[in-house]
Structure 1
């Protein structure tokens, strides 16, 4: 089974979301958290650290698993974590980024299960 993971990055009750480019046909133009498919031999934690660094240049330390699941033959992990650094997007896979409040996320086209993730974070008063 293919493994994938994403990092949930929060600052001052806002969530960092990246807008997906046409690099992938799946959910092109939609918004989501930085993440992606693991390389062979990577753990979910190693995967999310690498993907967050690649997609938005932040150093990410996963601290809590918010959700796991299976989707189209993939085992996925959604990690909440601590982060440092300055955002610089990987322009091949990401066309834009921004920090969003819960209410602002309701107007976006969210990829994968990120609507559920945003709702969960709001319920937990994180955003």
Structure 2
């Protein structure tokens, strides 16, 4: 049974918002990535990403396009570009830190999952 997972790519002035995963997480503790996570029962990918972004960093996210989909272990994942609003407030249990990064800084971080590839895609498309 595939688990659905989704994350939101949040951009501002050619910088990307990345969150540092806490040591409480089983996969990639201390690594950086976009806000996201596994869907709850009966959630769509869009509902999943809206809820996860809100939970992890308190932003209101509205997905506009899918930049990439893929399979990781037992998960079918979606990477959404979208619009956002609000003030960042991180969920301290799951997130150690956050910051806005330009391409040069982002690409040097320890990045979780496929985020190195995501950052390269954004850079090639002149979004970062």
TM-score range, shorter-chain basis?
Answer: over 0.9
Deviation string, structure 1 residues 88-122 (Cα, Å, up to 9, x no partner) = 00000000000000000122000000000000000
Count of residue pairs the alignment pairs up: 127
Query: What residue number does 1:48 align with?
Result: 49
Query: What residue number does 1:38 align with?
Result: 39
Alignment gaps of 5+ in structure 2: none
Query: What residue number does 1:106 align with?
Result: 107
| SS of the residue 1:88 aligns to | coil
Alignment gaps of 5+ in structure 1: none
Moved over 3 A (4+): none
| SS of the residue 2:68 aligns to | strand
Query: What residue number does 1:61 align with?
Result: 62
| SS of the residue 2:28 aligns to | coil
Question: Structure 1 length normalisation: TM-score?
Answer: 0.99
1:1-127 alignment runs, 5 A limit = 1-127=2-128
Question: Structure 2 length normalisation: TM-score?
Answer: 0.98
